Structure 1
Amino acid sequence: MNTPTAASILVVDDEPDLRTLYELTLLREGYRVEAAASVAEARQQLSAQKFDVVISDMRLPDGVGMDLLHHLREQQRRERCVVMTAYGSAENAVEALRAGAFDYLTKPVDLKQFRAVVASAIQGMGGVPAPQRGVRAKAPAQAQDALERLIGESSAMRAVKQRIAKVARSMAPVLVRGESGTGKELVARALHASSQRASGPLVAVNCGAIPENLLEAEFFGARKGSYTGASQDREGFFQAARGGTLFLDEIGDLPLPMQSKLLRAIQERSVRPLGSTQEEAVDVRIVSATHRDLAADVQAGRFRQDLYYRLNVIEVVVPPLRERREDLPALCAALLARIQEEGGIAVPPLTDAALQQLARHPLTGNVRELENLLHRAVALSDGRELHIEDPEPGAAAAPTGTLAVSPAGPAPADMPGDLQAWLDQQEREILVRALHESGFNRTAAAARLGISLRQIRYRIARLDIAVPQGGDEQGDAHGDAQ
């Protein structure tokens, strides 16, 4: 029986004391370690043998760590590179990540974080991480399942899937950009499932759905007594996502003061819970998403340029449905199967005529609008086949996915041109109001409306109502904190 070989690591730093500290730390973890004090020495080591990971300081006597990174890429070497940058050198870290570095560390290096980053880099490299670190293995089946949820084999969707598979391998922050309803959260979930963090948590946060006075406690946690109603310590999103991925949906909706605090947490990889005097190290990968033009928001002063620069290291653009209409048959089949499963009702088959009728809609609301059209068709069907309504001439699609209550519907004297859409809007407004007034406690909102928790969950999902993450049906912390 062959004994697995321990992972091999090359440490490059010109400061002898720090180099020794890194060596001893890694040796205690069970790795094989070599060291170099310059770019030239590192190249000699690389020419003599292969490593699993190269950890290099950015500033060296005869060059910079980027030189080694470019050398590895040019030679198509398999080693993953982790760079160490000085405190406050955010631009260097972003440049290294864009050039292909697996991750970065900020000096002075926190040894706990150092060990975690190295263990993460080793996964999938063929080396053997130290067993006591509890390093998780990738789950290829989980990754394949997540990618298959991105329905469609158009060239645009194939490009998205290929990019996900490529960028999932690093720790670089990813910005997912696309119109509302295109499936940005599915892309984020596929990124997580395809990464080395797949068996860690994925914490999804709707940044636009959290009351501003609760943002800091929700993101960074809070200590007992830090605000009225805080009867015990509670974790924030960063702590809950340790070892996994933190998905910040609608990142453009964060107010400027919170953007500043988020930037610091991302750069320093540590957070300070509300009411605490101590910072906590956090190990998360950041994936964010927006339907907004963040570059324009930066120019208008609505979004911090440094945060945008930090989040947009790698970009994944999700195409609108109008640019991949060849995916309509597969999307309709998947959506109708879900409607049937969730509603517990038989769904008539989708005929070619109905599919052609769907294709005539502008679908400016993308997959979300398509799902609403199919829901309506199922509700109004005669049981034998689906009948798709004609698009209203010249009508623009209403914005979807917002939490704001829309203006009241047509006056009683007016007749709605689309009864089902009008009824859906009225139901949505009532649900949003009930959720707001109950502090997003779904159990309380359901009781107030005389429906079950399962029914309100189904309606929230069907009508695409954004509910803040962390709201607990049995006793929502949002309500407690207010």
Structure 2
Amino acid sequence: MTKTALVVDDEVDLCRLMQITLTKMGIKSDVAYTLSQARDYWQEREYDFCLTDLKLPDGSGLELVKEISGSTNTPIAVITAHGSMDLAIEALKLGAFDFVNKPLELPRLRQLVENALKVTHQGDDPEAAPECTPEQKLLDSRLIGDSAVMLPLKNTILKLARSQAPVFLSGASGTGKEVVARLIHDLSPRRDGSFVPVNCGAIPSELMESEFFGHKKGSFTGAVADKQGLFQQANGGTLFLDEVADLPLAMQVKLLRAIQEKTVRAIGDTKEIPVDIRILSATHKDLSQLVQAGTFRQDLYYRINVIELKLPTLNARRDDIPVLATHFLALIAEEWQLETPPSLTTAACERLQHHDFAGNVRELRNLLERAVTLAETPNIDVNHLGLPALTPADTEPQAMSSATQGTAPTAETPAARTHPASADTLLPNSPSGQMAPIDSSAAHDEKGQLIQAPTSASNLHPYRTHTQHYPSVIKGAAANHPKTAQGDSAENIKTANQAAQAPNETKNINNLGLPAQGLEHYLQAQEKQLIITALKQTGWNKTQAAELLGTTFRSLRYRMKKLEIDEDQLE
């Protein structure tokens, strides 16, 4: 079927040029020279997309944008004169698909039209089941949860994916801002292009311009070859600026021009190169406060914050915790190559739903990884979670209400912002953060406090069924190893045995026999010492050290990373 387009502009020559370009692309077009004529055409016929000027003889093109985007899913793009960026941004806020500047560049026009034709007319058929669409399936597979705050978030993401407007993702750490950014890209017409994420806070300020815009060979000391910048890498796709609040002021100026003009110039080059990218940005900081403080440019803030999407915290979507936990446990079983996938007991699931997740979904995954490591069977119970005992106030009904803990996330613009209380969470790409080993079988006093540290070898890896203590395992192995008779290894093993068998000989708090720096620090220190001892014993051979400790190579490597053990500590 031949695609059709409506072109609205009062410049006859420009309309003819656009008509010729569209005809060569196999698109039939109608031309309207006034706003009233465009409305008549729109009511009489159906079009696949619309292209309109913002300044018309009998009104503003913004009126047409508002009418079309508010009533249909048909993409509408705007043509704006050079220097009228504020009008273009206003059009994007009203629902415009994209914009193109005058004087018109044909390659840019063709790219815009191709992107517009890729936009699906999802929602045009009221009888169509949205859950059956590929877009909805992708959303459900990547954005886990169907709580009250998640359904409007998914609908908003689908709408944002159809647009080319810059989107600012706000939310606390661990809410899955990059996950949402990738979803917007994968659901958009730019899905075939590159998704280029960049952590703005991780790039040294002196290298920032080269990283973003590239450089030419010989442009500065050390520039031994041409380098392509991040903007060039994202050409035709999406550039995701994570932690954009960490950009230095000098770089903010250069970034503003690149976003506004859609051109970049590499260091040492004499010409600017056009780039076709969509900007997505995110930060856990309050950009509006940084603007008031003078540490973030206001003009850049309005360029990247055309549409704001707030992500809910995990505490605001507690109903999703069971399905999230199941999802993460399946991922952990696959990554760790576990024969039997782990699962949560009913009590453990209820305990997670009562936990206050400061780190949101990222904290949930870390907690589950630790629980799988400590569990002796595939069944994860409350004691494997390592969470403090609940008080009666924690189990009251209001603690489980997700509907009252956050406002449904919506896409916002700086002109109309309600600032919902929620700020964070979806799916992280990878876990991060320090996870201290927690007692899986320690005794508790009448107040629910841990009073005894475990030394079971079963705590080293998933589903361990042995009952030997760490010191016993190493001591037995050391007796058969010639190097344990003398030197540092034997002394370390002796020290580890003494420390594990006599915890009350450590520094005391009020002479109660408790570790001065707390249980977690004590357990970490003991475990770290045992692992180092085993590694020394085997000459840094992790496979043999894992066998010596009665665990797996994968589990040992995981714990070495968490405890920050490297080869330098073995000297």
1:274-423 equivalences under 5 Å are 274-345=267-338, 348-383=342-377, 385-386=379-380, 387-391=384-388, 414-419=516-521
Q: Which stretch shifts more, 78-87 or 149-158?
A: 78-87
Alpha-carbon distance in structure 1 between the residues aligned to 2:93 and 2:282: 18
Alpha-carbon distance in structure 2 between the residues aligned to 1:193 and 1:106: 26
Residue 217 of structure 1 deviates from its aligned partner by 1.4
1:439-450 equivalences under 5 Å are none
- Does residue 71 of structure 2 align to residue 81 of structure 1? no
1:404–1:359: structure 2 CA closer, same or farther, 3 Å change rule? Answer: closer
Residue 83 of structure 1 deviates from its aligned partner by 0.7
1:234-273 equivalences under 5 Å are 234-273=227-266
1:421–1:28: structure 2 CA closer, same or farther, 3 Å change rule? Answer: farther
1:392–1:238: structure 2 CA closer, same or farther, 3 Å change rule? Answer: farther
1:184–1:87: structure 2 CA closer, same or farther, 3 Å change rule? Answer: same
Counterpart pick for 1:117 among 101, 112, 119: 112
- Cα pair 2:357 2:363 within 8 Å, conserved: yes
- How well do the aligned residues superpose, as a CA RMSD in angstroms? 3.5
Counterpart pick for 2:10 among 4, 7, 14: 14
Q: Which stretch shifts more, 286-295 or 192-201?
A: 192-201
Alpha-carbon distance in structure 1 between the residues aligned to 2:523 and 2:211: 34
Residue 380 of structure 1 deviates from its aligned partner by 2.0
Q: Deviations over 1:93-139 (max 9, x none)?
A: 1110111111111222222111101111122468xxxxxxxxxxxx9
TM-score by length of 1: 0.77
Identical aligned residues as a percent? 45
Q: Deviations over 1:137-179 (max 9, x none)?
A: xx96476335422111111112211111122111111111111
- Does residue 170 of structure 2 align to residue 68 of structure 1? no
Alpha-carbon distance in structure 1 between the residues aligned to 2:541 and 2:93: 53
Alpha-carbon distance in structure 1 between the residues aligned to 2:294 and 2:542: 44
Alpha-carbon distance in structure 2 between the residues aligned to 1:186 and 1:193: 10
Hey, what does 2:569 align to over in structure 1?
none
- Cα pair 2:212 2:231 within 8 Å, conserved: yes
Residue 29 of structure 1 deviates from its aligned partner by 2.4
- Cα pair 2:69 2:76 within 8 Å, conserved: no
Q: Which amino acid in 2 is paired with 1:43?
A: R
1:250–1:393: structure 2 CA closer, same or farther, 3 Å change rule? Answer: farther
- Does residue 48 of structure 2 align to residue 52 of structure 1? yes
Q: Deviations over 1:377-416 (max 9, x none)?
A: 222222354311123999xxxxx999999xxxxxx97545
Hey, what does 2:93 align to over in structure 1?
98
Alpha-carbon distance in structure 2 between the residues aligned to 1:393 and 1:274: 58
Alpha-carbon distance in structure 2 between the residues aligned to 1:166 and 1:230: 43
Partner SS state of residue 333, structure 1: helix
- In structure 2, list runs of 5 or more residues that go unmatched: 122-131, 392-427, 435-505, 508-515, 529-539, 544-552, 565-571
| Larger-gyration structure (1/2) | 2
Q: In the comparison of the two structures, how many residue pairs are matched? A: 412
- Cα pair 1:347 1:378 within 8 Å, conserved: no
Q: Deviations over 1:305-351 (max 9, x none)?
A: 12221212222211101111111111111112222222234554311
TM-score by length of 2: 0.65
Alpha-carbon distance in structure 1 between the residues aligned to 2:351 and 2:43: 63
- Cα pair 1:50 1:79 within 8 Å, conserved: no
Partner SS state of residue 8, structure 1: strand
Alpha-carbon distance in structure 2 between the residues aligned to 1:221 and 1:296: 31
1:86–1:253: structure 2 CA closer, same or farther, 3 Å change rule? Answer: same
1:344–1:8: structure 2 CA closer, same or farther, 3 Å change rule? Answer: same
Q: Deviations over 1:68-88 (max 9, x none)?
A: 2233246x2454211111222
Residue 277 of structure 1 deviates from its aligned partner by 1.4
Q: Which amino acid in 1 is paired with 2:520?
A: D
Partner SS state of residue 34, structure 1: strand
Alpha-carbon distance in structure 2 between the residues aligned to 1:149 and 1:302: 35
Alpha-carbon distance in structure 2 between the residues aligned to 1:349 and 1:73: 46
Residue 199 of structure 1 deviates from its aligned partner by 2.3
Q: Which amino acid in 2 is paired with 1:354?
A: A
Hey, what does 2:460 align to over in structure 1?
none
Q: Which stretch shifts more, 100-109 or 28-37?
A: 28-37
- Does residue 312 of structure 2 align to residue 210 of structure 1? no
1:10–1:450: structure 2 CA closer, same or farther, 3 Å change rule? Answer: farther
- Cα pair 1:140 1:194 within 8 Å, conserved: no
Partner SS state of residue 292, structure 1: coil
Alpha-carbon distance in structure 1 between the residues aligned to 2:40 and 2:225: 55
- Cα pair 1:52 1:125 within 8 Å, conserved: no
Hey, what does 1:134 align to over in structure 2?
none
